[in-house]
Structure 1
Amino acid sequence: MLASWLERLTGPRAPAGYRPGATLQRVWRNLGLTDVQSVAAFTYREDGPRIEVRERTESHLLMHLVMCEFILRVPAVGQGTLQAELHHTGALRRTGLACRRRGGDQGLFEALESRLEEVRAALMPLDFKRLVIECRDGQWQVTLEHMGASEVVNRMPAFRRYIPLDIEQRKHLWRAFDALERLLREL
């Protein structure tokens, strides 16, 4: 009895007011697609890569955020493990991209970092909050969390606001995934 009470108190749980799949449905409409699932996958052109989209929540005091992660998987040519994070540089204006190794092989990280200039043009105009590139078990995985395609839910005062993925940013997103897929297939 005590264990179940403690698990309920400290265990992971969805934030109050969270509606699973609601933000994903709006993102689906922004993308011009109709079939919605809790874990959705699609291609944005016939010969394009398969992109998976899933919701992620982040709780704060009296509010929570629902963000959508776009995930690209590419088979790895070589072996090794890596976890790297990319972010924009510049205090007021974007001046470039920085890559930080979070774990894995230093040699694989240096190979990735040396080729980042190839994807710079595609990533610079993209409004992303988080971009993680991982390699493990013979597969690359890119997880991109866009600033749009998210929802802010506040409890006091009560409001819910969806931040759409606009057409311009959608085009930048597709260019970025195309560039990253080409880069990772050759790495």
Structure 2
Amino acid sequence: MNSSSWLQNLSDVWDRPPSGYRPGVTLGQLRRDLAGLECEVASPTRVQFSTGDLEFEVQERAQAQLLMHIVVCEFVLRVPSQQTEATKIVLRHTGAIRRQGVAARLSEGSAQAMAPLLERLHADAPLLAALLPLDFKRLELQRDAQGWQVRLEHFGASEVVNRLPGFRRYIRLTHEQRAALLATFTRLYSLLGEF
């Protein structure tokens, strides 16, 4: 076996979905959690939701781990922008025991150009009211030539699948989290549209 075929075989194993992964099952559960929103299925692992005022996409992704895997849903909100400079802002909760606020860190782009947006993200009362109760693992704001993309990975709307011992558990997106998610997206759409 030459080195290129060995690398190709290793790549095929690494890129293969985890054993027991059922594409679309977690999104089906999420569709029940988001009942009442208009839903258009784009593929087994991608769905477009609409509230009338707001449209966002949800992409299902499987993350393999030792003897288990996690299926997470990544929420993506697109916001038009007249600026095209590449920018990336990462948001996270602050506070060691209790959430006390939200920190926004610029990881790519011009600090001088993004200073007004960063200030608004730290101080906007409606945004903070929506973000503080929201249980998210990752929240990134990225801008490119197509505009802004808000990428949010929630703790809920995910499935844990273990092989030994065998179990499968879906973690619901509760009504409170649904309301916080929609309020966050609505406020971010309004804020990012100005930049």
Q: What is the TM-score of this pair, normalised by structure 1?
A: 0.91
In 2: Cα distance, 1:51 partner to 1:158 partner: 34
Which residue of 1 is the match for residue 34 of structure 2?
31
- 8 Å Cα contact 1:80/1:108 also seen in 2: no
Q: Which amino acid aligns with 2:32?
A: R
Secondary structure of the 1:78 match is coil
- Comparing 142-151 with 1-10, which one deviates more in the overlay? 1-10
Q: Which runs of 5+ in 1 are unaligned?
A: none
In 2: Cα distance, 1:183 partner to 1:62 partner: 42
In 2: Cα distance, 1:107 partner to 1:72 partner: 25
Q: Which amino acid aligns with 2:50?
A: T
Which residue of 2 is the match for residue 67 of structure 1?
72
Matched positions, count: 185
Q: Which amino acid aligns with 1:40?
A: V
Q: Which amino acid aligns with 2:8?
A: E
- 8 Å Cα contact 2:88/2:109 also seen in 1: yes
In 1: Cα distance, 2:9 partner to 2:28 partner: 29
Tell me: CA distance 1:5–1:79, structure 2 relative to 1, closer, same or farther (3 Å).
closer
Which residue of 1 is the match for residue 169 of structure 2?
161
Which residue of 2 is the match for residue 89 of structure 1?
94
Q: What is the TM-score of this pair, normalised by structure 2?
A: 0.88
Task: Give the superposed CA RMSD.
Answer: 1.7
Aligned-residue sequence identity (percent) comes to 48
Structure 1 counterpart of 2:61, from 45, 56, 59? 56
- 8 Å Cα contact 1:128/1:144 also seen in 2: yes
Secondary structure of the 2:15 match is coil
Cα deviation for residue 138 of structure 1 reads 4.3
Matches within 5 A, 1:1-187: 2=2, 3-10=4-11, 11-32=14-35, 36=41, 37=43, 38-44=45-51, 46=52, 48-116=53-121, 117-118=123-124, 119-187=127-195
Cα deviation for residue 107 of structure 1 reads 2.5
Q: Which amino acid aligns with 1:6?
A: L
- 8 Å Cα contact 1:80/1:138 also seen in 2: no
In 1: Cα distance, 2:40 partner to 2:29 partner: 11
Segments of 4+ in structure 1 off by > 3 A?
1-5, 33-37
Cα deviation for residue 108 of structure 1 reads 3.6
Q: Which runs of 5+ in 2 are unaligned?
A: none
Q: Which amino acid aligns with 1:13?
A: R
Cα deviation for residue 170 of structure 1 reads 0.5
Q: Which amino acid aligns with 1:114?
A: E
- Comparing 97-106 with 159-168, which one deviates more in the overlay? 97-106
